[in-house]
Amino acid sequence: MQKTVLCFNLGEEKFSAVSAAGDKNGIGVKQVPQADFSQKLASLLELLPRENTLCLSPFKEEMLIMAGLSREETDLFLADLRQAGASVALKAVVTPYNLGWRCDDLLKELKKEHAQFGK
């Protein structure tokens, strides 16, 4: 799996900061359009074909999904984001467990975890 960060609902300035951190760390960065919010992570990472599905309820929250990064690479990337003042509250790492999830379902899970842990 290629080193990739999928970005959801980032404004231009924050997306630019995420892209700069990605460039610095050799990570591809992709802004996901709202029309693709119901796609599976594997499809957005080009590991599976895209589905013919409509996003009936696009979400507005910012979210980052990191794929193919080691723990150290993830830590360095996130440190660069903090240094640039471009933190995003809802973040996830792609795992074999969530690779088949739709982005909107992953967001729901992240929001539950975020509320539960108060972060």
- The predicted-structure confidence for 14-41, as pLDDT tens digits, reads as follows 999 999 999 999 999 999 998 888 889 9
103 — pLDDT class (breaks 50, 70, 90): confident
CATH code given to domain 4-117: 3.30.429
Which residue ranges make up each domain of the chain? 4-117
> Who's near 6: CB < 8 A, 6+ residues apart?
30, 32, 41, 44, 45, 64, 65, 66, 67, 103
Instruction: Give the CA-trace dihedral at 72, 64, 2, 37, to 10 degrees.
Output: 160
Mean pLDDT is lowest, of 31-35, 57-61, 112-116, for 57-61
